[in-house]
Amino acid sequence: MPKQADPLTILKKRRMPAVVLLDHQLHRCWRNGEAATLMAPLPGLPDGEISPLERDLTRLAADLVSSHGEDPEVTCRVDIHLDGDAVYGLRADMMWGEAGRAPMVMVQVDTVSLKREVDFDAVRRRYNISRREQDVLRMLFYGKSNKEIAELLFISEYTVKDHIKAIMAKMEAGSRSQVLYKLTTG
């Protein structure tokens, strides 16, 4: 049986949420100190290139803005960002101001878990995942793209996609993010 996470331990590892405000054209208007720290340029990134967290945050906000235009009832989007040893929960919400003003998007970044270990053998047994699917799942957990997984495992990207579809079906997950969520929440 997999070891259950102690909720108190997880809460002690959490930090204040990072908050970023974007205008309707997805330009950053404001961010708190925690967001400035999380989104600081990474060493080795070329000038002008944004951090992976900022890229995911902006993509989530763009998804919310585009889906809100199609369906006014959609006011929130949630996703997970994995960065090395940290897992971040992202939540984008539409913010309405005065009448006639364009809406803004508020994105909250919450540190879900730091240095959380995953027992991949237990996951494999629990969900009846093959050893090869376990290899793909491990690389997915560490943030590798389909192309990177294919290169590392010496298989085609189509095979990687097939493995990911099988993993999602076995874990009853509708997306890669849900797979990662299930892995990080026990």
pLDDT, position 165: 95
Which of 159, 18, 150 minimizes the C-alpha distance to 83? Answer: 18
pLDDT, position 43: 65
Q: Are residues 59 and 26 in the same domain?
A: yes
Residue 163 lies in a domain: yes
Contact 107, 91 (CB under 8 A): yes
Q: HEC string of 55-72?
A: HHHHHHHHHHHHHHHHCC
Q: Are residues 109 and 132 in the same domain?
A: no
pLDDT, position 93: 87
Which of 20, 182, 175, 172 minimizes the C-alpha distance to 91? Answer: 20
Q: Are residues 91 and 177 in the same domain?
A: no
Q: Are residues 98 and 22 in the same domain?
A: yes
Residue 44 lies in a domain: yes
Q: Are residues 103 and 50 in the same domain?
A: yes
Q: Are residues 108 and 156 in the same domain?
A: no
Q: Are residues 72 and 156 in the same domain?
A: no
Q: What is the pLDDT along the chain (186 residues), one digit of tens a residue?
A: 445 555 555 445 555 678 999 988 889 899 988 888 877 776 666 667 777 888 888 998 998 888 877 666 667 777 777 666 667 778 888 887 676 677 888 898 877 655 557 888 999 999 999 999 999 998 888 777 888 889 889 999 999 999 999 999 999 988 887 887 788 766
Tokens of 133: 């699917």
61, 86, 114 - which closes a domain: 114
Q: Are residues 109 and 88 in the same domain?
A: yes
Residue 2 lies in a domain: no
* Total number of domains in the chain: 2
pLDDT, position 137: 93
Q: Are residues 99 and 73 in the same domain?
A: yes
pLDDT, position 162: 96
Strand partners, 109: 18, 90
Q: Are residues 108 and 127 in the same domain?
A: no
Domain of residue 178, residue span: 120-184
114, 135, 157 - which closes a domain: 114
pLDDT, position 139: 86
pLDDT, position 2: 45
pLDDT, position 163: 96
CATH of residue 140: 1.10.10.10
